Structure 1
């Protein structure tokens, strides 16, 4: 069986990039890399044609972007690109198409019209009809146009593809709310096996270590600031706070005088920091979909303290036995202080096996394999 995989998120270091690569790699595992043709729509990748791979790069100039919008495409597509991709489906005898975004509606529609026997599925990293109106309010005029077109393309996709795939029941409710359609499958965020750790990066200290992992994305920066000022300063007698990830060393300038606060920026191995941390925190208040950093923390068996946003799609599926013991959902200062008071008063396991088992069952590469296999077999009507 030959498969076409289309994504605009293969290269980001975190977030939907992790999910996109998991989907691609799972398809490789199922049918063999030689049978998967990848369309890479990342705007920051040079145009390239290789065996079973095609990238297009960024639109040439602002006039090209406007032209794409006038064609009712987002800036990722032109009509000629869509026609070329449909041609690849025909030429390569593609049987199954995995669209790794819900806004590829014109492409989905074009494939189904030209090649009606080809099975096409669409994956929602989030429901854009809910997310994009929020982004529209704070965006430049040209981006507002693109987001509106994105919503229209999402609508077109919902009713063009053979199967709609969402992360979880919460996203399914959004799909029903905005489009009156139930999802065909749930496919939660899955991450690879935790890496082995080489050494403990934290200096010896009697204090427990709180870890935040991310990049210098505005929602992360705002979450760190809020947590530091409203929560950490009240608990710093018992805890150290470490923020790790590309660009986060900028936080040193904001809080330079606190010996219990550490901002490391990019590091070679996140595994070292995860393995030896006592608690992972994610005080996020914006975004969409399921957060990769939550799945990563669970994979390492870490006690996790996070907002409703950072636990979206996870908290609903967790056994009650770990709620407020290993997993704490917090949205107010009082919630966080209560959680950390409970953690401060007990011995904290560096790896909680009940969380590791939860990861293996729901959020691992093995779980991804089983879910993708089921989707393909039921959509194609045959065994893979």
Structure 2
């Protein structure tokens, strides 16, 4: 079996989406080996090209040339905005099975983005809506991150999800690097927030700074690409804050942190940083959105629905001496559900079933051709 992957090559992980794409690439390359081929859409340099989501004439011509000269059983679309690409493939090669990976339900995400960022972003909403509708129409299989996105897929597009493939992380935990220094005072507690500066992260951490941090002891450390641009705004309400932009290695911050906070108020898909925090054995205080799609273990993940619950939970952890740098329940949850090995098994089982389906279809076709020849 041969697979063509359509998506951007990942040279640096700088977002949750790029992390998931890199994970998918790794699993697919391991499974298909020499039968794996990738094709990267052109970067859109014009506004019209941006709104077309990889559907520019140059890329579509390259794609058609590849499909004419090579045989593929599967096309794997790295995201659900490649609707023009899916339509092009299906119109010429209807027998190729198209698999689309949904990082979230884009039309829902775009609607929320316009609501929080303003009507100037309406072109993004309409282009996302059109692109995703086409990808749903012309794809054969749909992979989502969690049950919620599966329900949305069915509710909005009347399509049944083919596979739920949650976030996973390659295991980078090193016990020897854990900060084992005993907490001297409550003022030494470190609350860690990790996330790039996109609207839901900025919205959430500002809410935490204004409504929670003033009422709990300790320092808040914020790390993420672009977050340094908001440093002055973050510190205008409270001085007990450190802000860092993009860093090559987040482990330094995770090993030092006592608690990870995830006050995400809106968004879609799954939050990659939740799985990363579990991998490092961190207790997480977060919202329903932060834990969406995850198996909820109350010993590892503290669910809060308002500011007072965040405050009470943090104070309770301090009172019970549970602000430790390592939580074994978090680590065990990661190994059971969100390790690379656990998720690789899910995707391989999915492709095993598809392979059998393809073989059976070919067998039936060949049998029919033989029967017609005999007649």
Q: TM-score, normalised by structure 1?
A: 0.82
Does structure 1 residue 212 correspond to structure 2 residue 193? yes
Deviations 1:117-170 (A, max 9, x none): 3221111111123222233454565x5334323222322222322211111111
> Which residue number corresponds to residue 53 of structure 1?
none
Q: Which has the higher helix share?
A: 2
- Could you give the per-residue CA deviations for residues 185-216 of structure 1, whole angstroms, max 9, x where no partner exists? 10111122125375749997423221111223
Aligned residue for 2:312?
338
Q: Which residue number in structure 2 is paired with residue 370 of structure 1?
A: 345
Shift of residue 296, structure 1, vs aligned partner: 0.6
- Aligned counterpart in structure 2 of residue 381 of structure 1, from 336, 353, 356: 356
Partner residue of 2:219 out of 224, 240, 244: 240
Q: Residues 301 and 382 (structure 1 numbering): CA distance in 2 closer, same or farther, change over 3 Å?
A: farther
Counterpart position of 2:370 = none
1:359–1:204 CA distance, 2 compared to 1 (3 A): closer
Shift of 1:114: 2.1
Aligned to 2:364: none
1:186 aligned to 164, 183, 188, which one? 164
Partner of 1:15: 16
* Matching of residues 62-211 of structure 1 within 5 Å: 62=47, 65=48, 68=49, 74-137=52-115, 138=117, 144-196=122-174, 198=177, 200=179, 205-207=184-186, 208-211=189-192
Query: C-alpha deviations, 1:331-370, integer Å up to 9, x for none?
Result: 3111111211221112334332332222123222112311
Q: Return the match for 1:304 from 279, 284, 292.
A: 284
Going from structure 1 to structure 2, the CA distance change for 1:245 and 1:135 (only over 3 Å counts) comes to: closer
CA distances 1:62-81 after superposition (whole Å, capped 9, x unpaired): 4xx2xx58xxx624321442
What secondary structure, in the 3-state scheme, does the structure 2 residue paired with 1:263 have? strand
1: CA distance, partners of 2:342 / 2:331: 13
Q: Deviations over 1:298-346 (max 9, x none)?
A: 11121001112211112xx32xxx32x3211223111111211221112
- 1:29 equivalent to 2:4? Answer no
Q: After superposition, what is the alpha-carbon deviation per residue over 1:245-304, rounded to whole angstroms, capped at 9, x for unaligned?
A: 333344543427966432233444211211231110011222221111111111112100
Deviates more, 1:129-138 or 1:342-351: 129-138
Tell me the matched-pair count.
Answer: 352
Distance of aligned partners of 1:252 and 1:161 in 2 relative to their CA distance in 1, 3 Å threshold:
closer
Residue pair 1:124, 1:167 contacting (<8 A) in 2 also: yes
State the match for 2:2 in structure 1.
2
Q: Point out the structure with max Rg over C-alpha.
A: 2
Aligned to 1:351: 326
CA distance in 1, matches of 2:111, 2:238: 39
2:53–2:81 contact (8 Å) kept in structure 1: no
Equivalent position of 1:48 in the other structure? none
Tell me how far apart the structure 1 counterparts of residues 248 and 157 of structure 2 sit (CA, whole Å).
43
Q: Following the alignment from structure 1 to structure 2, what is the Cα–Cα distance between the partners of residues 347 and 203?
A: 11
Change (3 A) 1:335 1:369: same
**8 Å contact 2:214–2:238 — kept in the other structure?**
no
Post-superposition CA distance 1:49-94 (Å, at most 9, x none): xxxxxxx2233x44xx2xx58xxx6243214422421331332322
SS in 2 for 1:93: coil
Question: Residue 58 in 1 paired to residue 44 in 2?
Answer: yes
TM-score, normalising length: structure 2: 0.84
Aligned counterpart in structure 1 of residue 205 of structure 2, from 210, 224, 228: 224
Verify the 8 A CA contact 1:294 1:310 in the aligned structure 2.
yes
State the alpha-carbon separation in 1 of the partners of residues 357 and 133 from structure 2: 29
Match of 1:264 in 2: 244
Across the aligned residues of Structure 1 and Structure 2, the Cα RMSD in angstroms comes to 2.8
Q: Return the offset for 1:231.
A: 0.8
Preserved CA contact (<8 Å) 1:250 1:263: no
Q: Equivalents in 1 of 2:227, 2:150: separation in Å?
A: 34
Listed as ranges, the gaps of 5+ residues in structure 1 are 42-55
